[in-house]
C-alpha cells in the first residue's frame, strides 16, 4: 500500500463513533488522499473494508477489525456551477464546509438536518433527512457520483450512466462500493427565520398537519412527562441577521445536570420535565440558511429513530409517550417529531410514502437498551422503518417485509460485491443473501450497541 495513504498498523489505532457506543481496532486504518490511492486501498483490502465519515451513526454499520478507510483527506468543494445550480464535492466533505462556498456563488443546499458535522457521503448514504412535508431525504439531491467498486474499478454514475446503480447506491450504507465524490443539486441562496416556542402538548399534536403545511420546516420536541412541547419552525425571510447562532453553555450545563439527576434519582424525572418547560423562553433568529439549520450538540447521546407513515405519526407518537410515562424510563432527552416527503430511492426509509420521523434519545453516559427495546415494537406496530444510522434490531427478513425493492437491491449488491467485502458482521445480518448470513456474536467489537 502506498505510504501516502497514511495507513496505520494494528494496535496503533482504535476507532469510536461520536457517542462512543461503537468501537473497533482495525488491522489497517487508511486515509487516502487521491482517488487512485482510494481505489488501490479498496482493491487490496481483505476480507472486509468499511468507510467512516464523521462517526455520527449509532448503528454498527462502520466497525471492522480489518480495513477501515477515512475520507478526511478527500474533502472540499471541487467545483460549483451557478448556471446549472449544482456543486461537485469530495465525499469526505462535511455539510458544514459546503455552506459558505455555495453562498459565495449564490447557491445553497436545498435542505439540511440539524447536524452539519456529518460528511456528505455518510449522511446521504444513510438516508439522513431534515424536516418539512415538502422536502425529501438529502440523498434525493444527488445528481451523480463516482463509485469505487470492490475490485477498484471506477464508475461515474447518474441517471444516464449505470442508472440502476445510481438509483440503489444513493442510500446504500457503502455496501455497493466507496463513493469518492458527489454532484449535488442546489438552489438559490436563501435566508431562514427560526422561531422556537412552547405549546400545549395536545394542541400541538392536534395541529401537527396544519403547522407542517404552514411552515417551510416544522418539528417539535417533547419531554415525555411534561404537558408542553418545544415547537421549532423555519421559514424563508428577508429579515436582517439576528439572534444567537452558537449554543448556550449555561443551558448545556443545566441539561447535563438534569440528565445526571434523572439517572441517579429517577423519581425526579417528571418534576424536572415540568420545571424545564415551565421556565422555557421562546427564541428567534435569522441568518443564511446554512447558519440557521444546525443546532448545537454539546451533549452526546445514543439514538433510535423510526419513520412511520405520515397519517400514523401522531398516534405512534402518543403511544411512545404513554409507554415512557407508564414505564417511567430514566430519559431526560426530548423525543423529536419531524415530517419528511416520499421519494423513490430503493432503501430510503421514505420510499413511496410521506413519513413522520420519531426519534428517541438517551444521554451517552446512561443505559439505553432496556428503554429502546421496550419502545421499538411500538414503531413496528405502525409499520416503521428505522433510520439506517440509528439503533435498531431488525434483520434481513424484517427489512424485506418493509422494502418493496429489497430483493432487487440485494441481487445488485451480490453482483457488485460477490466476496462480501463491504459487509461487516452487523451488515451480514442485515444485507447478506440468506444462505450467506452469519450469526451475530453479540459480544464482538462489531456489534456493541445492538
- State pLDDT tens for residues 118-137: 999 999 999 999 999 999 99
Fold of 3-72+406-447: 3.30.43
Distance CA 148, CA 154 (A): 5
Render pLDDT for 414-429 as a digit per residue (tens, 0 to 9): 999 999 999 999 999 9
Mean per-residue pLDDT of the chain: 92
As a whole number, mean pLDDT of residues 184-192 equals 98
As a whole number, mean pLDDT of residues 174-197 equals 98
pLDDT level of residue 5 (50, 70, 90 thresholds): low
As a whole number, mean pLDDT of residues 215-239 equals 97
pLDDT at 450: 37
pLDDT at 74: 98
Render pLDDT for 50-75 as a digit per residue (tens, 0 to 9): 999 999 999 999 999 999 999 999 99
Residue ranges of the chain that CATH labels 3.30.43.10: 3-72+406-447
Residue ranges of the chain that CATH labels 3.40.462.10: 191-386
% of the chain exceeding 90 in pLDDT:
81
* Cell triple for 165: 446503480
Looking at residue 241, what DSSP letter applies?
P
* Whole-structure pTM value: 0.93
pLDDT level of residue 47 (50, 70, 90 thresholds): very high
Question: 144-153, 157-166, 262-271: which range is least confident on average?
Answer: 262-271
Instruction: For residue 301, give every residue at least 6 positions away whose Cβ sits within 8 Å of its Cβ, in sequence order, or none.
Output: 19, 333, 361, 362, 363, 364
Residue ranges of the chain that CATH labels 3.30.465.10: 77-188
- pLDDT of residue 39 exceeding 70, the answer is yes
Render pLDDT for 306-329 as a digit per residue (tens, 0 to 9): 999 999 999 999 999 999 999 988
pLDDT at 250: 64
Fold of 191-386: Vanillyl-alcohol Oxidase; Chain A, domain 3 (3.40.462)
**For the residues of 74-142, what is the DSSP string, one character each?**
S-SEEEEETTTTEEEEETT-BGGGTHHHHHHTTEEES---S---SBHHHHHHTT----BTT---GGGGE
Render pLDDT for 328-345 as a digit per residue (tens, 0 to 9): 888 889 999 999 999 999
pLDDT at 373: 97
Distance CA 165, CA 412 (A): 8
Residue listed under C-alpha cell 460549483: 80
Cβ–Cβ < 8 Å for 188, 195: no
As a whole number, mean pLDDT of residues 268-276 equals 88
Render pLDDT for 91-111 as a digit per residue (tens, 0 to 9): 999 999 999 999 999 999 999
pLDDT at 331: 87
CATH number 3.30.465.10 given to 77-188: yes
As a whole number, mean pLDDT of residues 186-197 equals 98
- pLDDT of residue 444 exceeding 80, the answer is no
Amino acid at each position: 500500500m502506498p505510504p501516502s495513504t497514511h495507513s496505520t498498523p494494528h494496535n496503533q489505532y482504535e476507532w469510536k463513533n461520536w457517542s462512543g457506543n461503537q468501537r473497533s481496532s482495525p488491522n489497517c486504518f487508511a486515509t487516502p488522499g487521491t482517488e487512485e490511492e482510494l481505489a488501490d486501498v479498496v482493491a487490496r483490502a481483505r476480507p472486509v473494508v468499511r468507510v467512516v465519515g464523521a462517526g455520527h451513526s449509532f448503528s454498527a454499520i462502520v466497525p471492522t477489525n480489518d480495513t477501515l478507510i477515512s475520507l478526511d483527506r478527500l474533502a472540499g468543494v471541487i467545483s460549483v456551477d451557478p448556471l446549472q445550480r449544482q456543486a461537485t464535492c469530495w465525499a469526505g466533505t462535511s455539510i458544514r464546509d459546503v455552506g459558505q462556498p455555495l453562498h459565495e456563488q449564490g447557491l445553497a443546499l436545498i435542505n439540511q438536518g440539524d447536524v452539519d458535522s456529518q460528511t456528505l457521503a455518510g449522511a446521504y448514504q444513510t438516508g439522513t433527512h431534515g424536516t418539512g412535508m415538502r422536502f425529501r431525504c438529502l440523498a434525493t439531491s444527488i445528481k451523480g457520483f463516482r463509485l469505487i467498486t470492490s475490485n477498484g474499478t471506477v464508475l461515474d454514475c447518474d441517471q444516464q450512466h449505470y442508472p440502476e446503480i445510481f438509483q440503489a447506491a444513493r442510500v446504500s450504507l457503502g455496501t455497493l462500493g466507496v463513493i469518492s465524490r458527489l454532484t449535488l443539486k442546489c438552489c438559490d441562496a436563501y435566508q431562514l427565520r427560526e422561531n422556537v416556542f412552547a405549546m400545549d402538548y395536545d394542541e400541538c399534536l392536534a395541529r401537527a398537519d396544519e403547522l407542517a403545511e404552514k411552515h417551510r420546516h416544522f418539528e417539535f420536541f417533547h419531554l415525555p412527562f411534561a404537558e408542553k412541547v418545544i415547537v421549532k419552525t423555519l421559514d424563508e425571510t428577508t429579515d436582517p441577521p439576528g439572534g444567537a447562532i452558537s449554543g448556550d453553555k449555561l443551558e448545556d450545563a443545566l441539561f447535563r445536570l438534569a440528565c445526571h439527576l434523572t439517572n441517579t434519582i429517577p423519581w425526579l424525572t417528571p418534576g424536572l420535565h415540568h420545571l424545564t418547560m415551565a421556565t422555557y423562553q421562546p427564541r428567534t433568529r435569522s441568518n443564511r440558511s446554512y447558519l440557521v439549520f444546525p443546532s448545537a450538540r454539546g451533549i452526546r447521546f445514543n439514538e433510535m429513530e423510526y419513520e412511520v407513515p405520515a397519517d400514523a405519526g401522531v398516534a405512534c407518537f402518543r403511544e411512545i409517550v404513554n409507554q415512557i410515562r407508564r414505564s417511567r424510563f430514566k430519559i431526560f432527552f426530548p423525543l423529536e417529531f419531524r415530517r419528511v416527503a416520499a421519494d423513490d430511492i430503493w432503501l430510503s426509509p421514505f420510499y413511496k410514502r410521506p413519513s413522520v420521523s420519531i426519534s428517541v434519545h438517551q444521554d451517552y453516559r446512561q443505559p439505553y437498551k432496556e428503554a429502546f427495546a421496550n419502545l421499538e415494537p411500538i414503531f413496528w406496530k405502525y409499520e416503521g422503518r428505522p433510520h439506517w444510522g440509528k439503533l435498531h434490531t431488525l434483520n434481513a427478513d424484517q427489512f424485506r417485509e418493509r422494502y418493496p425493492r429489497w430483493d432487487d437491491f440485494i441481487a445488485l449488491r451480490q453482483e457488485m460485491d460477490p466476496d462480501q467485502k463491504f459487509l461487516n458482521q452487523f451488515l451480514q445480518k442485515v444485507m447478506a443473501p440468506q444462505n450467506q448470513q452469519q450469526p451475530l456474536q453479540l459480544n464482538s467489537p462489531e456489534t456493541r450497541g445492538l
